[in-house]
Structure 1
Amino acid sequence: MGSEEILDAEMVAHLGDFGLAKILVEGNSLLQQSTSSMGFRGTIGYAPPEYGAGNIVSTNGDIYSYGILVLETVTGKRPTDNRFRQGLSLREYVEQALHGETMDIVDSQLTLELENECETLQDSSYKRKIDCLISLLRLGVSCSHELPLSRMRTTDIVNELHAMRESLLREYRIEDGSYVNPLLLLGSLLLLAAGTLPLQATTACVPRERDALLAFKRGITSDPLGLLTSWKEDDHDCCRWRGVTCSNLTGHVLRLHLNGGYDLDRFELVGLVGEISPQLLHLDHIKHLDLSINSLEGPSGQIPKFLGSMNSLRYLNLSSIPFTGTVPPQLGNLSNLRYLDLSDMEGGVHLTDISWLPRLGSLKFLNLTYIDLSAASDWPYVMNMIPSLSVLSLSFYRLQRANQSLTHFNLTKLEKLDLSMNYFDHPYASCWFWNLTILKFLDLSQNRLYDQLPIALGDMTSLRVLRISNNDLGSMAPNLLRNLCNLEVLDLDESLSGGNMTELFGSLPQCSSSKLSELKMSYNNINGSLPAGLFRQFPNLVTLDMSINLITGPLPVEIGMLDSLTYLNLRGNNLEGVITEEHFVSLKSLKYIDLSDNQLLKIVVDPGWLAPFTLEEARFASCQMGPRFPSLAPVVS
């Protein structure tokens, strides 16, 4: 097997085995290797999910580990960081950012270097470097896909990295003793690491399938990202083309991965423009088709019906293509499909008849976010007929209600349910899903749900993420969440009509080893003082937002023990007393703090005090400051 670069606590690289990696344990003077007593294959955070199921080690497993390494290197965040213990993986964290503010997640040292160079380099040159960073993130996401067959091929990885490196080399002329750009160095190191991956055998592609791919290219009128530049008429081996993965044995195309991107300055898609050619039907063996984040709606604007004839597909991602019209029921013919993402089609796609969905008997992942399902009143019954589902996202578009009564629950494998922003407008307790005790992720935010949460919620002990913000909960039943010991994220923003802080604390998880890392309870008219036990009970907090409430009294010094706390927002309360260095003693991770609009709160720290953190933003408006506050960050009034 190849070598795996693993970064230790100081972000220093060490070598291990991709497929059979050891856990690195820090000894007194050296790093010692140890293996898991359970025989688990791979380093925690880097091992692919299939190893946990007992699968044998493979090249695809190596590629997964390499992908995580790429994401870690560009973001500066480890897959085992506290922020990724709340139902969100490093890969998901990056994937979400690629749909929005991508540069916000890039390691600050890299972005600082680029900003410094921006004063002397052309704007186009600066943009090319940003594009390289984003391309690296996309590569890492593509390599670390949950499904082994959906991961990038080794040769594709090396080709992509070579292209990035050549692009950067054109920007710099390196001479002895001269400055070496860290982004160029980063790309070169990742290319070196990719060279240690086992190369898959190559077999020339099937001519008919090559012709089908060229027909697809002829339907493209614009390619600003250069996704198809390697697709050349005189190159007879399409298996070497970017985004194409073939069988090593037969040469058949198994995977076509051509996702585009976003222009963050203009908030628009930047990807392929054109239409999806029906010649793709000649890819008889294709299992994975990802055309997401492109403008491939074509003249008709409709999702092509012929996609329903690509019977070998297991993975289909058409998200963020601005289609219009209705989702064709022909997609119900894809009986092998395991993953279907039709989300974020903001052109106005609707589904009136969803009776074809249960024909997808192997479906595990279904995302219909932004699809208009307002006419599908029977949606709970239909979803209940797909027992293989583990992830179901139906957010952001006018589901009428969720208070249907199901006599039998087939969704015994469902772990993630996102029904946010649908405006159900009925009591919490009447919802159909409270018996799904295996759920790990539940998002009901912005649904106009009202009355108290049902007692059945207390039995959903597998929950890691619970978001019920912007509803009308009224009050929290005593002890309701006490046994939710796996809960990592609790979002109750704008959901309570009041309550006492001490009583609410008693309703939160009361476990010997709490995993809670994000607690949000803003805009709730909560009164009383913050109990010191709150910070002892939840020592792993990364995000704490109790802003815009009626909280009184002093801020307990125990808050200073939260060494993982990154975001603290207590603005708009009635806090009083004095805050000193003791309140910050172990807050080494703190990046954002807002204590503004607490007029009786006084902050007194020594001007020469060296803070254990480096703030990115601090807000202290209306607080009493003095006599002189040390320079910690850009202070926003």
Structure 2
Amino acid sequence: MHSVSLFIAKHQVDMGFPSVLMLQFVISLGFIASKSLFLAVDSSTLSIETDKEALISFKSLIESPNPLSTWDQTLSPCNWTRVTCNKLGQRVVGLDLASLGLKGSITPHIGNLSFLRSLQLQNNQLTGTFPRQLGNLFRLAVLNASFNTIQGPIPPTISRCVELRTLNLMQNEVSGRIPEEISHLTKLQILNLAGNNLSGPIPPSIANISSLTNLNLGTNTLSGPIPGDLSRLRNLKYLDLTINNLTGTVPPSIYNMSSLVYLALASNDLWGNLPSDVGVTLPNLLGFNFCFNKFTGTIPGSLHNLTNIQIIRMAHNLLHGTVPPGLGNLPDLRMYNIGFNRIVSSGDNGLNFLSLLTNSTRLNFLAIDGNLLDGIIPESIGNLSKVLGKLYMGGNRIRGSIPASIGHLNGLALLNLSYNSISGEIPHEVGQLEELLKLGLAGNKISGKIPNSIGDLKKLIEIDLSGNELVGSIPTSFGNFQDLLSLDLSSNKLNGSIPREILNLPSLSTHLNLSKNFLNGPLPQQIGILASVVSIDLSDNRLSGPIPDSIGKCKSLEELFMADNLFSGRIPNTFVEVKGLQTLDISNNNLSGSIPSDLQKLQALQVLNLSFNNLEGEVPIGGVFSNLSKVHLEGNPNLCFSLACKKIHGHIKRLILVFIIIIIAAILALSLAISLIFYLRKRQAKIKTSSESFKRPHQMVSYDDLRLATGNFNQENLLGRGSFGSVYKGNLREGSPIAVKVLDVERTGSWKSFLAECAALRSVRHRNLVKLITSCSSIDFKNMEFLALVYEFMSNGSLEDWIRGKRRHTNGDGLNIVERLNVAIDVACVVNYLHHENGAQVVHCDLKPSNILLDEDMTAKVGDFGLAKLLISRTRDQSSISSTRGVKGSVGYIPPEYGLGEKPSTAGDVYSYGITLLELFTGKTPTDEIFTGGSSLKEWVKMAFPASIEQVLDQDLLPNKGSLCHEGKSISPEAQHDCLIALLGVGLSCTVDSPNGRISMSDALCKLKSSRDTLLKFDLLLRK
């Protein structure tokens, strides 16, 4: 044809234009006739060879190992694996290369397979881009290249595939926008671009493909709203836009698409939650999926008018409002998921919309969790579908009790009512849910005993009843579970011993959590049967006796928590057999003996807490012990390190010698004393000593004494609550007012707080410390452990009350600048004493206004040493074995370095004092709601300092209110202003981020006293 065209071009001048056309027409006819004759002779041979060359080219781009190596070039492609030809064997019509692990790119020669109708390339590792030649496959019906790593845009030449039935490019990494050329595919029926990196908005021009029945653009990064034009696709049955960044409201016109069978606008794994009889390609599936796209607005009422709906999923969006009416119109509904939105209801009948779902007899999945729904579970819940498999109602505000009718849902595999306000007892009828796999009732107010009937649920794999008020013992019927993976009964009031039956569950592999209960008795040897469990938490109970050696058989154990019990005896050597152990916490027990040296061999061990026991001897130096930040040994006074131990042994020998000398001296002294007594008797001298010459020790107080002193701990005498207990006002029998701090023994760390406060206050004396009168460790009338500290009563409350305006002078005034400055100096004095003037250096760790109290003379005193630390410096002769790692203090007052794992230090106290100083003069707490994002109290003050401090000062301190009268003397606004600048400057100097950049407490105290002197002296100069 090319040579014919040249011939015509050369002679067209000599021939007229009509003649040229005639000649061209005749020659073309002849060429076509001859070509047809030629194809009739050998078309099948040439066509199959062309297909073979295309397939060989495809094979050549596949990396080694090449799964297509079985393609023998001496044979026809029709004999190759994964290749399908037509009935006559003339052309390749199908290519199924799915799930072969192919690595490489798609050859452009793929376009030569002109008879191809099905191309399956999914589940491989193909890379590169889609070749333009795909557009030559005009007979293609199925193209599936999902689950690869193909990139680049969709080739515009695909628009040539005018007979295309299915285009599936799902789950690749194709990037760029959806090409406008897609709209040229006027006969396209199925378009699947899911699982790529497509971005930008959805082109409204897609609505021009009127023949489209299936459109899948899910699992991309598409943004913007859903085009309302999509409603023009009158033949569309399947629309999937899941897992994108789409926003806005769903266009109302979408709900008018009468042909629509399936609508998915979410991002969750839809298929993991679907009924088992639903396939991903069923065209008659009807559903809504609104999960990870951030759609707003309300649930449209028209949604419930689609009476053929089977699946409604609107989870994980920002939808608000109530559940619209119409749920009773959905007889074919299988899934209703509106979880994790902002849907609301109120009143006892707030959940009555669930009763409407009783008409949906095929309902398999119901989720309303993670909303703001308030109400009582209706008794009619038992009338829901008999095939209901999953019921999610957790994370709401549901009240009342669990209705007994719940037992009628005998098809349930999952029941989650966790984190509501449900009360009452667990109904016995729960035991009728024979198909139940997961039971979640955590974080409620459920009381009573755990019903034995739960043990009848033999298919259970997970139970979570934590965070309730359950009492009684753990049912032995729990031993019936054969497939249980996880059991959590923590944070209840369970008592009795640990049943051997629940330890005879070899299937347990996730975790066993029995912490924060009142369990007692020994830990059974059967603990070793749990060979597959990863985490065990038995902390905060009353378990006693030795730790069984069988614990070493828990080979899969990674975390073991046994703190805050009464375990005694030695630490088992069998811990070394638990090779994967990462965390071991056996603190706050009565363990004795030495630390097993084999613990050094646990290479995976990252946290070891042996604190507050009775351990003794030398601390190992290898393994986890080589990094003391990972080891907690405090509270074991008889432990020592290698060098210190040698010196201790030498010291003991010297002590023996000294002891012998002391005995001899004592004998001599005794003889001398006897002689003196005879001498005094002969003289009959009488020595009178007034009672005032001797100080009688404060009488020890019992639980009954404190109960009577506080009116049986009456709430009217409650002064406040702290981290580890409550403080009550009381009066001893002789009438002395006291403040009684009752520790919450159920709270982790309460004993540690009790001991820390006693240790700290035993070694310090200062006028600005709240005086500790005595302590009480006893048993209350319920035979429960009782711990209390008795302090002097501070009649003017806390500094926090004065800053917040809860307390004022009788004339209605708050604290003035001089009074606040005096408080600041009082606190600085005692902190400086603790840091630099006391024999044992003490760090308070929790300085804040609520821990600063004022007596009747408005003298400030620091209290609450529950987090205090006695710092022991390291010298050549002495090593500290106290670990002070961990964030200590209150939010807003904690120095930044504590959050990075630094030990408590005097510089940390300086930071907390600086924040307190800024709060004292601004009236703003560091956790005030105005401090959001990156702002904070100190940054707020820093921005106004020094030129605009009026913007941050407490309104009661504004100097423009006029002169201040203090003790009959006038202090001018100018003097107040200059003093306030100096005081805020001290606060900012104390709160520098770097500990090394902060001033010391002695420097701060000096500056504060200087500011007070200047304030008062300046006033004297003005009066002169």
Could you say which TM-score interval applies, normalised by the shorter chain? Answer: 0.5 to 0.7
Whether 1:604 aligns to 2:446 is no
Q: Which has the higher contact order (CA 8 A, sep 6+)?
A: 1
- Selected match of 1:534 from 377, 381, 388: 381
Say whether the 8 Å CA contact 2:441–2:465 is kept in structure 1: yes
Whole-angstrom CA distance in 2 between matches of 1:569 and 1:518:
12
Written as runs of structure 1 = structure 2, the 5 A alignment for 1:611-626 is: 611=456, 613-623=458-468, 624=470, 626=473
Whether contact under 8 Å (1:358, 1:382) holds in the other structure is no
CA pair 603-475 structure 1, distance change in 2 beyond 3 A: farther
CA deviation profile, 1:132-175 (whole Å, cap 9, x unmatched) = xxxxxxxxxxxxxxxxxxxxxxxxxxxxxxxxxxxxxxxxxxxx
Task: Provide closer, same or farther for how the CA distance between residues 227 and 533 of structure 1 changes in structure 2, counting only shifts above 3 A.
Answer: farther
Which residue pairs with 2:55 in the alignment?
A: 213
Contact 1:355 1:382 in 2 (8 A): no
Q: Following TM superposition, by how much is the alpha carbon of 1:492 offset from its aligned partner in structure 2, in angstroms?
A: 0.8
Look up the match of 1:232. 72
Q: Secondary structure at the match of 1:434?
A: helix
Q: Distance in 2 between matches of 1:414 and 1:511?
A: 30
Assess if the C-alpha contact under 8 Å between 2:125 and 2:148 holds in 1.
yes
Verify: 1:553 aligned to 2:392, yes or no: no
> Which amino acid is the alignment partner of residue 487 of structure 2?
V
CA distance 1:471–1:558, change in 2 (3 Å): same
SS at match of 1:621: coil
The aligned counterpart of 2:316 is: 470
Please show how residues 235-384 of structure 1 align to structure 2 within 5 Å. 236-260=75-99, 271-297=101-127, 301-346=128-173, 349-374=175-200, 376=201, 379=203, 381-384=204-207
Q: Is the 8 A contact 1:312 1:336 kept in 2?
A: yes
The alpha carbon displacement at 1:220 in A equals: 0.8
* Residue of structure 1 in register with 2:520 after alignment: none
- SS of 1:558's equivalent in the other structure is helix
**Is the Cα contact below 8 Å between 1:592 and 1:617 reproduced in 2?**
yes
Q: Which residue of 2 aligns with 1:499?
A: 345
The equivalent residue for 1:103 is none
Taking the aligned partners of 1:509 and 1:358, their CA distance within structure 2 comes to 46
User: Structure 2 counterpart of 1:356, which letter?
Assistant: I
What amino acid is the match of 1:354? E
Is residue 384–residue 409 contact of structure 2 (8 Å, CA) maintained in 1? Answer: no
Q: State the partner residue of 1:80.
A: none
Alpha-carbon contact 1:303-1:324 (below 8 Å) kept: yes
CA contact (8 A) 2:363 2:387 kept: yes
Q: How does 1:75-114 map to 2 (within 5 A)?
A: none
User: Aligned AA for 1:590?
Assistant: L
- 1:328 positional shift: 1.1
Judge conservation of contact 1:569–1:593 (CA < 8 Å) in 2: yes
**1:442 CA displacement:** 2.2
Correspondence for 1:634: 485
**Cα distance in 2 between the residues matched to 1:425 and 1:279:** 41
Cα distance change, pair 427–307 in 1 and its aligned pair in 2 (3 A): closer
Measure, in 2, the Cα distance between the counterparts of 1:546 and 1:255.
48
CA offsets 1:48-84 (integer angstroms, 9 cap, x no match): xxxxxxxxxxxxxxxxxxxxxxxxxxxxxxxxxxxxx
Name which of 241, 252, 262 aligns with 1:419. Answer: 241
Give secondary structure in 1 for the equivalent of 2:180.
coil
Which residue of the partner structure matches residue 18 of structure 1? none
How many positions carry a matched residue from both structures? 412
Q: Which one has a bigger Cα radius of gyration?
A: 2
Contact 2:224 2:248 in 1 (8 A): yes
CA distance in 2, matches of 1:531, 1:552: 11
**What is the distance in 2 between the residues matched to 1:438 and 1:602?**
53
| 1:564/1:416 CA distance change after superposition, 3 Å | farther
Indicate which of 393, 418, 437 corresponds to 1:591. 437
Pick closer, same or farther for the CA change 1:353–1:276 going to 2, 3 Å. Answer: closer
RMSD of aligned Cα (Å): 2.9
Match of 1:576, SS state, is coil
* Secondary structure of residue in 2 paired with 1:593: strand
Matching residue within 258, 262, 268 for 1:437: 258
Q: Is the 8 A contact 1:505 1:534 kept in 2?
A: no
SS in structure 2 at match of 1:322: coil
The one-letter code of the counterpart of 1:636 is L
- Cα distance between partner residues in 1 of 2:377 and 2:295: 28
Q: Aligned equivalents of 1:613 and 1:485: distance in 2? A: 32
More helix, by proportion:
2
Q: 2:315–2:338: 8 Å Cα contact kept in structure 1?
A: yes
| Alpha-carbon displacement from aligned partner over 1:492-549 (angstroms, at most 9, x marks no partner) | 1111243247444427754645221111111102222211212303332111111111
Distance 1:388 1:431, change over 3 A: same
| Cα drift, residue 364 of structure 1 | 2.8
Q: Kindly state the Cα deviation for residue 258 of structure 1 after the two structures are TM-superposed.
A: 1.0
Q: CA deviation at 1:620?
A: 2.3
Q: CA deviation at 1:361?
A: 1.3
- Code of the residue aligned with 1:418 in structure 2: it is D
SS of the residue 2:423 aligns to: strand
* Per-residue deviation, 1:393: 2.3
Change (3 A) 1:438 1:280: closer
Instruction: Determine the C-alpha separation between the residues in 2 that align with 1:241 and 1:322.
Output: 26
| Partners of 2:287 and 2:86 in 1: CA distance | 36
Calculate percent identity across the aligned residue pairs. 25
Helix, strand or coil at the partner of 1:482:
helix
TM superposition score normalised by structure 1: 0.59
Change over 3 Å in CA distance of 1:442–1:491 after alignment to 2:
same
Change in CA separation of 1:467 and 1:331 when aligned onto 2, cut-off 3 Å: same
Whether 1:391 aligns to 2:221 is: no
Following the alignment from structure 1 to structure 2, what is the Cα–Cα distance between the partners of residues 589 and 217? 50
Q: Tell me, which stretches of 5 or more residues in structure 1 are unaligned?
A: 1-202, 262-270
Distance 1:363 1:288 in 2: 15
8 A contact 2:299–2:320 mirrored in 1: no
Partner of 2:306: 460
Q: Deviations over 1:348-385 (max 9, x none)?
A: 512253243341413135343434241x45x2x32322
Partner of 1:618, secondary structure, is strand
Separation in 2, partners of 1:239, 1:588: 54
Give the Å deviation of 1:289. 0.4
How does the TM-score come out when normalised to structure 2? Answer: 0.38
Give 2:332's aligned residue. Answer: 486
Q: Which runs of no fewer than 5 residues in structure 2 stay unpaired?
A: 1-44, 261-285, 489-1024
Q: Which moved more, 1:310-319 or 1:609-618?
A: 609-618
Q: In 2, distance between residues paired with 1:418 and 1:592?
A: 30
Counterpart-to-counterpart distance in 2, 1:571 and 1:227: 50
SS in 1 for 2:383: helix
SS in 2 for 1:523: coil
Matched position secondary structure for 1:533 = helix
Q: Given that residues 402 and 427 in structure 2 are in contact (C-alpha distance below 8 angstroms), is that contact kept between their aligned partners in structure 1?
A: no
Q: CA deviation at 1:280?
A: 2.6
Change beyond 3 A, Cα 1:417–1:403: closer
CA distance in 2, matches of 1:392, 1:554: 46
- Other structure's SS at 1:383 match: helix
Displacement, 1:227? 3.9
Change (3 A) 1:431 1:351: farther
Tell me by how many angstroms 1:256 deviates: 0.7
